[in-house]
Copies of this chain bind each other. A is one copy, B any other.
């Protein structure tokens, strides 16, 4: 892997336009075989990912990406809780991989969630991303087979007036406002696994993914003011509704206590940014890196599009879980979205030197 030698790539970089996320299950049925298979897959994937990220080609590759550069390719690899059980490594299971609880608004399809392993491939170019994901899938065979996959997209750097601006989601909202800034102490505390987990995860992080379908027809029937009251921010620029509209910007901190002349909260009691605010959850932050998705029409010819939510965090038990519990109970946005799939993966640190990913886990 590339990066700073500590963390995996594909986390702190500005997200490129294309995502191909694939979750896998091991095919082995007994622990010894599963552990050997897991080792084999990670031993194979580690140098292959390094080669692909450098713009190189794998032996027997398909030429798909000939004539294309690496296009900012990153490969990020994760392990689900199930794989540790399957490989007889329960004693190394981080508490942070405890199954996410059921939330009252969940409508989860188990076939689209979970998984023993995950590979998130990001690149600015769709062909580069597809080709890398496909080659890694081939290399995993026959030890692991794809369980589910999800394509996602964001705006391209080339089309953007400001490629570093917060991207918009399919509801037209800026999505990622108030994320911690990579390289800061706040980010490090929020994202990187601390000393309260197993040694093999030091320098790693935990990734929660949620496939969130947006009910865009209903959303579009709201006025822009109505949408702003659901979110708590101005649609044009993401400024909080609590701030002076003439001077506020996306980064102006929301003042959740401000009321109108007749005493109503300016940021409503059920506004998304109020309920998601870290202040209500012990100050614990996550780092969101979501992608929009468009899976066309479902069996009833209704558009199936929305957000493939991804959040990196040091401990989901104190970050995603309490936030989502609050959102599921009261968030005004709940009427316009459906969580249709869920997964949680440990993202180990980058391997050191000539090692392979999660080697300290497998060679203990």
Residues of A bordering B, CB below 8 Å: 17-18, 20, 60-69, 71, 123-128, 130, 134, 137-138, 145-151, 153-162, 165, 167-173, 216, 220, 235-236, 292, 294-297, 301, 303, 305
Which B residues are CB-close (under 8 A) to A69?
A: 159, 161
Whether A296 pairs with B153 at a CB distance below 8 angstroms is no
- Contacts A17-B126, A124-B158, A158-B125 hold; do A172 and B64 have CB atoms under 8 A apart? yes
Whether A158 pairs with B155 at a CB distance below 8 angstroms is no
**Which residue of the partner chain B has the closest CB to A219?**
B62
Q: Cα distance A235–B66 when bound, in Å?
A: 10
Chain B CB within 10 Å, residue with most, of A68, A162, A171, A216: A68
Whether A168 pairs with B64 at a CB distance below 8 angstroms is yes
Q: Cα distance A301–B138 when bound, in Å?
A: 14
Whether A156 pairs with B124 at a CB distance below 8 angstroms is yes
**Which residue of the partner chain B has the closest CB to A237?**
B66
Select A62's contact among B162, B167, B172, B301, beta carbons within 8 Å: B172
Q: Cα distance A68–B157 when bound, in Å?
A: 9
Which B residues are CB-close (under 8 A) to A172?
A: 61-64, 66
Q: Cα distance A165–B130 when bound, in Å?
A: 19
Which B residues are CB-close (under 8 A) to A128?
A: 155, 159
Which B residues are CB-close (under 8 A) to A155?
A: 65, 67-68, 125-128
Interchain nearest-CB distance for A203 vs B (Å): 31
Which B residues are CB-close (under 8 A) to A150?
A: 296
Which B residues are CB-close (under 8 A) to A123?
A: 159
Select A156's contact among B126, B147, B149, beta carbons within 8 Å: B126
Whether A125 pairs with B68 at a CB distance below 8 angstroms is no
Give the 10 A-B residue pairs with the shortest CB-CB distance, closest first. A63-B172, A62-B172, A125-B159, A126-B153, A71-B159, A127-B155, A149-B296, A68-B159, A125-B156, A67-B161
Apart from A64-B169, A67-B160: 11 A-B pairs, beta carbons within 8 A: A62-B220, A125-B155, A126-B153, A127-B155, A128-B155, A128-B159, A134-B303, A145-B301, A147-B297, A148-B297, A149-B303
Interchain nearest-CB distance for A224 vs B (Å): 8
Interchain nearest-CB distance for A146 vs B (Å): 6
Interchain nearest-CB distance for A219 vs B (Å): 8
Whether B66 pairs with A130 at a CB distance below 8 angstroms is no
Select A63's contact among B125, B127, B137, B235, beta carbons within 8 Å: B235
Q: Cα distance A220–B156 when bound, in Å?
A: 31
Which B residues are CB-close (under 8 A) to A61?
A: 172
**Which residue of the partner chain B has the closest CB to A25?**
B301
A-B contact pairs, 19 of them (CB 8 A): A20-B294, A65-B168, A66-B236, A68-B155, A71-B156, A71-B158, A123-B159, A124-B159, A125-B158, A127-B159, A127-B168, A128-B155, A130-B153, A130-B305, A134-B170, A145-B301, A146-B303, A147-B297, A150-B296
Which B residues are CB-close (under 8 A) to A165?
A: 67
Whether A160 pairs with B68 at a CB distance below 8 angstroms is yes
Q: Cα distance A217–B221 when bound, in Å?
A: 45
Interchain nearest-CB distance for A150 vs B (Å): 7
Which B residues are CB-close (under 8 A) to A66?
A: 168, 172, 236
